[in-house]
Structure 1
Amino acid sequence: MGEQTLDLPEECWEMIFNLIEHYHFVSLSLVCRRFLAITNRLLSRLVVSDPTLLLLPQLLRRFPRLRIIDLAGFRGDVDALLSQIAKSGLDLEALGVSNQKTLPVDGLRVVGSKMRNLRYLNCSKIGFLQDNDLGLIAESFPFLEELDISYPEHTLSYSSIGLLDSCVSARPITDSGILSLAVKLKGLKKINLSGNHFITDKSLGILSRNCLLLSEILLHNCDFVTQNGILLVIRGCANLNSLSFSGIWSSFVDSRFKDSFVCTKSLCAVDFSDSVISDELLYSIAEACLPLNKLVLSHCQNYTFSGISSLLCKHQSLQYLDLELANFLTDEYMLELSKFLQRITYLNLSLCHQLTNSTFFNLTRNCPLLNEFKMVGTNLGAEDFTTSFVVNPRVKSLNLARNSSLDNDTISMFASSCPNLKFLDLSCCFNITEEGISEVLKRCSEIRYLRIEHCSGIKTLVIDYELSSLEVLCAWESGIDDDGLAMIGNRCCRLLQLDLTGCSNVTVKGVKEVVQNCRVLREINLKWCNNVDVDIIAWMVFSRPSLKRIVPPRGFVPSESQRNLFLRHGCLVCDG
């Protein structure tokens, strides 16, 4: 029977494997050579860090269908590495070189000459990114469609009178750099300019005139971009469907703004984060009848219930809504708004301090498609439970962190309302104990990701059943002790990641229980676990082959020979 099963066409096996998380490919590749070849073909993304470098030539040959390579964690010679990638024969579609001290211009030039199908380039958080670099990017990748040059890390010098020092050779990105980019990248569809503090409205005019296919632009923390610049983009980019900016002051809306929203017919996602907006602005959006499915008003000021209710009434097909820190919202207001949220799948009401249990149950009842729900730092648990609830099987993710009044009884009721949870964050919910978390796990048996950071009342998991779905447990500075780790080891057979940072009740005994019994464990963090002896590290590496990353307790600094020995066994041991 086994032989007949292996005779399935390779296309069938590929379809089956594509339904499986990629981290299971390691186990599948060990079954037979055929499975090894199939999993090698299916892997499309590679993250390169320093320890990967020695194996890079073999990896590039082993995975012929790589389409995405990310070098954000690499700290060596990036130019040489990019030249090696360029000569590999791969046909990359996306490349990430973020978090580097400088832009690797030589390496990018070589990659651009070899890989003409590259469409996405991530150059975020590059030190000393300047106008000349943008010209190089445009020349090297003329068919680029998506570019991220957000948050360059400049250290600027100023003269005694406060002006930028002329001796500084590395200048921030300016409108001139955007011009050199825009005139050559005619096919650009998405650009992230966030954190470029010296570009002005002129840059937005340049982009709207030259990049006619531009459909998405991000402009967070761009100090000299004003409402007028936003108008240029809205009016000039006929294909614009997503606009994201922050820090804009709009205490009033003139006729130009209203006309602009009426003119654009494709805008479906708007992010006004950290801006001062008015009800008039929300009224104008409502009147424009846009195909809006995403609205972000996180940390916005000056608008009221009247403005947001008017907009939501006209856009009842909205799927994504973020109202974080909307302090005017009450349970009564949210009950009224819930009538317009029949299609909502993502909802963030974090830091809305007046909201209580009533809002949670009303929304899970009235929003049948709700999938991800955030109520961080609200007033959950502060009132007695008086509202009836229904089961909402669609809710898969709940973030209820920093609700200090949330207790065992309330979280048990929430779990009953959302039995199909896969992600749950209860960090800093200080009144929850192991009794409450055990009830949650019993009612939500499909949880894969659980955060109980700073929950000192949770010392163990009192369970007599398998948690076969749990893959990630973050218990940073929780009360977890050795008995808790023994229970985790015995009941969490598929655990992949365990973060025990600052768990002072954990010792070598508990760590051994987890390592011995969690046979697919890939990462464990023991930072600041001061009662764990550092001598256990070598035992962990050799006892559990699945381990790929260990953060040891404070005081463990592996020598170069130790680090290389651990790497040969497939495990990166970081400095403690």
Structure 2
Amino acid sequence: MSYIIPCYLSGFETLPWDDVIYIYIFPFVPLQTLFTLRGVSHSLHNCVTGYFEVCQRYDFTHVGHHFNSRAFKIVFSKNVGVRQLNLCNNRDWLVDGILQPVLQASHRLERINLTGCSTLTSRTVLTLASNCPLLRELDLSNCFWLESEQFKLLACKCQDLETVNVSGCWNLNDDAIVGLAESCKRIRVLSVAKIFCLTDRSIGEVARKCRQLERLDLRGCWRVTDDAIRMLGEYTKLLRVIEIRECSNVTEASLSKLRVKGVNVDLPNYNHYRNMINLQV
């Protein structure tokens, strides 16, 4: 790779950084390649460092296994304007002490994905709550360390949330989801799949308070019943998709009312098939 780089860089260093390189080139260059470029020349080192300072979107999904805490610190040492941060499944090196300073400087953060970051704790959520009031999209799926009280505080501080995924966060309870519904009334997409303790109380509150709701994932929430589904049908006029598999207490009695309104349900209408069979007979 190193012997090819000088050919690519013929005249490259004369291009305007802010108007050309940072907008049309570097956003499409893998992070590990940017680190390689830093070692080519003093000028490129400064160019890449300058890009790290102003870059607003970072996705570590496919490069996290090439990274470590030192490289992460280099990327964010002077960045104060990141708006989108995807750290999905980075568990080998990502801990609170590494991420918290970044969040403390990211007051414009709008989207963050911490799916499966099992080495973090609720301290990271508290840091988000204190420093990122503009947050609109939050993905904490399979973050089993997430606690209800910290999540309620986050919802209270980040009331512009529109998309929330806390699937598999087993420690959350009805109070946590009620707190979310009361604070974040702009929610359009909500996933609470496999939070097994949730009941009609929290889902009913979501129905009453989150009138902009378009998509709801309740898979595996077996304590939820037809009563909550009826409330969703009554209050959430914009609902378009509901995922309800493995909810054994939800029946076609309530789902049929959603289907009539055009809601896409992830379960087939067995009554419909039964009626078709009867007609054929």
TM-score (structure 1 length as normaliser): 0.39
Supply the distance in 1 between the matched residues of 2:240 and 2:226 (Cα, whole angstroms).
Answer: 25
Supply the distance in 1 between the matched residues of 2:204 and 2:265 (Cα, whole angstroms).
Answer: 17
Supply the distance in 2 between the matched residues of 1:288 and 1:342 (Cα, whole angstroms).
Answer: 20
2:134 to 265, 272, 291: 291
Instruction: Give the secondary structure class of the aligned counterpart of 1:385.
Output: helix
1:223 to 39, 51, 65: 65
- Count how many residue pairs are aligned between Structure 1 and Structure 2: 261
Instruction: Give the secondary structure class of the aligned counterpart of 1:144.
Output: helix
Residue 316 of structure 1 contacts residue 342 of structure 1 at CA under 8 Å; is this kept in 2? yes
Supply the distance in 1 between the matched residues of 2:212 and 2:184 (Cα, whole angstroms).
Answer: 9
2:155 to 312, 320, 343: 312
Equivalence for 1:267? 109
Does 1:412 find its partner at 2:268? Answer: no
Instruction: Give the secondary structure class of the aligned counterpart of 1:326.
Output: coil
Residue 259 of structure 2 contacts residue 265 of structure 2 at CA under 8 Å; is this kept in 1? no
- Check 1:373–1:303 CA distance in 2 against 1; reply closer, same or farther (3 A cut): same
Equivalence for 2:28? 147
Q: How does 1:293-442 map onto structure 2 within 5 Å?
A: 293-379=136-222, 383=225, 385=227, 389=231, 390-412=234-256, 414-415=258-259, 419-421=261-263, 423-426=264-267, 433-435=270-272
The Cα of 1:322 is off from its aligned counterpart by 0.8
- Check 1:248–1:138 CA distance in 2 against 1; reply closer, same or farther (3 A cut): farther
1:243 to 72, 85, 97: 85
Q: Which amino acid aligns with 1:338?
A: A
The Cα of 1:285 is off from its aligned counterpart by 1.5
- Check 1:380–1:144 CA distance in 2 against 1; reply closer, same or farther (3 A cut): farther
Residue 250 of structure 1 contacts residue 278 of structure 1 at CA under 8 Å; is this kept in 2? no
Residue 194 of structure 2 contacts residue 219 of structure 2 at CA under 8 Å; is this kept in 1? yes
Q: Which amino acid aligns with 1:261?
A: L
Equivalence for 1:162? none
- Check 1:281–1:235 CA distance in 2 against 1; reply closer, same or farther (3 A cut): same
Supply the distance in 2 between the matched residues of 1:235 and 1:294 (Cα, whole angstroms).
Answer: 24
Equivalence for 2:43? none
Supply the distance in 1 between the matched residues of 2:240 and 2:8 (Cα, whole angstroms).
Answer: 41
Q: Which amino acid aligns with 1:218?
A: D
- Check 1:208–1:347 CA distance in 2 against 1; reply closer, same or farther (3 A cut): farther
Supply the distance in 2 between the matched residues of 1:133 and 1:350 (Cα, whole angstroms).
Answer: 48
Residue 91 of structure 2 contacts residue 117 of structure 2 at CA under 8 Å; is this kept in 1? yes
Residue 131 of structure 1 contacts residue 178 of structure 1 at CA under 8 Å; is this kept in 2? no
The Cα of 1:359 is off from its aligned counterpart by 3.4
Q: Which amino acid aligns with 2:161?
A: L
Instruction: For structure 1, list consecutive stretches of 5 or more residues without a partner in the other structure.
Output: 1-129, 150-173, 185-204, 436-457, 462-479, 484-576
Q: Deviations over 1:295-341 (max 9, x none)?
A: 11011132211221111111111111110101122334322331112
Residue 235 of structure 1 contacts residue 263 of structure 1 at CA under 8 Å; is this kept in 2? no
Q: How does 1:184-223 map onto structure 2 within 5 Å?
A: 208-220=49-61, 222-223=64-65
Equivalence for 1:179? 35
Supply the distance in 2 between the matched residues of 1:459 and 1:137 (Cα, whole angstroms).
Answer: 65
Supply the distance in 1 between the matched residues of 2:147 and 2:187 (Cα, whole angstroms).
Answer: 21
Equivalence for 1:574? none
Instruction: Give the secondary structure class of the aligned counterpart of 2:85.
Output: strand
Instruction: Give the secondary structure class of the aligned counterpart of 2:190.
Output: strand
The Cα of 1:249 is off from its aligned counterpart by 6.1
Residue 140 of structure 2 contacts residue 166 of structure 2 at CA under 8 Å; is this kept in 1? yes
Q: Percent identity?
A: 13
The Cα of 1:404 is off from its aligned counterpart by 4.2
Instruction: Give the secondary structure class of the aligned counterpart of 1:295.
Output: strand
The Cα of 1:273 is off from its aligned counterpart by 0.9
- Check 1:290–1:391 CA distance in 2 against 1; reply closer, same or farther (3 A cut): closer
The Cα of 1:182 is off from its aligned counterpart by 6.9
Residue 149 of structure 2 contacts residue 176 of structure 2 at CA under 8 Å; is this kept in 1? no
Supply the distance in 2 between the matched residues of 1:269 and 1:351 (Cα, whole angstroms).
Answer: 23
Instruction: Give the secondary structure class of the aligned counterpart of 1:401.
Output: coil
Instruction: Give the secondary structure class of the aligned counterpart of 2:35.
Output: helix
The Cα of 1:229 is off from its aligned counterpart by 4.2
The Cα of 1:252 is off from its aligned counterpart by 6.5
Instruction: Give the secondary structure class of the aligned counterpart of 2:59.
Output: strand
Instruction: For structure 2, list consecutive stretches of 5 or more residues without a partner in the other structure.
Output: 13-19, 41-45
Equivalence for 1:170? none
Residue 324 of structure 1 contacts residue 351 of structure 1 at CA under 8 Å; is this kept in 2? yes
Residue 182 of structure 1 contacts residue 207 of structure 1 at CA under 8 Å; is this kept in 2? yes
- Check 1:241–1:342 CA distance in 2 against 1; reply closer, same or farther (3 A cut): same
The Cα of 1:251 is off from its aligned counterpart by 9.1
Residue 283 of structure 1 contacts residue 311 of structure 1 at CA under 8 Å; is this kept in 2? yes
Residue 52 of structure 2 contacts residue 75 of structure 2 at CA under 8 Å; is this kept in 1? no
Q: Deviations over 1:182-239 (max 9, x none)?
A: 799xxxxxxxxxxxxxxxxxxxx99554454421111125224345544443443343
Supply the distance in 2 between the matched residues of 1:263 and 1:361 (Cα, whole angstroms).
Answer: 37
CA root-mean-square deviation: 4.0
Instruction: Give the secondary structure class of the aligned counterpart of 1:398.
Output: strand
Residue 279 of structure 1 contacts residue 306 of structure 1 at CA under 8 Å; is this kept in 2? no
